Structure 1
Amino acid sequence: MDLQVLSLQELYALRDQVEAEVVRLQSAEKIAALAKVQALMAQHGLSTDDLQKKAAAPRKPVEAKYQNPVDPSQTWTGRGRKPLWVRLPG
């Protein structure tokens, strides 16, 4: 198909047809994927509740292991990024 011979209106109409076909195919693929997922869930005895991510138990605060000798109010547990006062020599 030579697009250069089409008028502007014909190109707009062609674009609309292409967009409509893309939407139709996306919808059909989603329906097919959903059917596959439902079949797998039934095969393995799963429900939608089984797919919900379980909430992690709240973590207890960790006691600080390090204290800034210059400013004792600054502490660090030893987890996560090292504070500057730990990395830089005093």
Structure 2
Amino acid sequence: MDISQLDYAQLVALKADVEREIKGRESEEKAKAKRQIVELAKTYGLSIEDVLSKSQGVRKPVEAKYRNPDDASMTWTGRGRKPVWVLQHLDAGKSLEDLAV
């Protein structure tokens, strides 16, 4: 098919036909992929819930590396933003090692 020979209306109709065909095939491909995934899971004795679950096991909480000397209940793992009490300690000219657990 030489599309350069088609007029505007024919091209628009062709575009609509192509988009409709793409949607249909996309549905077919997704259904095929789902069947393959289910079969593969069954082969390895997995349920779909096993496949889709995000947890790979129980994660151990990160232990604190730093403790506030004025309030022992305030700790920091060293990850993420520094707590205010750590910043105040550092602003006072002291080192982070002073807070090490």
Tell me: CA distance 1:88–1:18, structure 2 relative to 1, closer, same or farther (3 Å). farther
When normalised by structure 2's length, the TM-score is 0.55
What CA distance in whole angstroms lies between the structure 1 residues aligned with 2:43 and 2:60?
Answer: 36
Greater RCO structure (CA 8 Å; 6+ sep): 2
Tell me: CA distance 1:24–1:54, structure 2 relative to 1, closer, same or farther (3 Å). closer
Q: Percent identity, aligned pairs only? A: 21
Equivalent residues in 2 for 1:4-83, closer than 5 Å: 5-53=5-53, 63=64, 65-67=66-68, 77-81=76-80, 83=82
What CA distance in whole angstroms lies between the structure 1 residues aligned with 2:62 and 2:79?
Answer: 13
| RMSD, aligned α-carbons | 3.6
Tell me the secondary structure at the aligned position of residue 15 of structure 2.
helix
What CA distance in whole angstroms lies between the structure 1 residues aligned with 2:54 and 2:10?
Answer: 53
Q: Between Structure 1 and Structure 2, how many residues are aligned?
A: 85
* Structure 2 segments unaligned to the other structure (5+ residues): 94-101
Tell me the secondary structure at the aligned position of residue 18 of structure 2.
helix
Q: For residues 8-35 of structure 1, what are the alpha-carbon distances to aligned partners after superposition, in whole Å with 9 as ceiling and x for unaligned?
A: 2111101001101111221121121111
1:80 maps to a residue whose letter is: R
- Superposed displacement of residue 60, structure 1: 5.8
What CA distance in whole angstroms lies between the structure 2 residues aligned with 1:61 and 1:38?
Answer: 36
* Structure 1 segments unaligned to the other structure (5+ residues): none
Task: Find the counterpart in structure 2 of residue 2 from structure 1.
Answer: 3
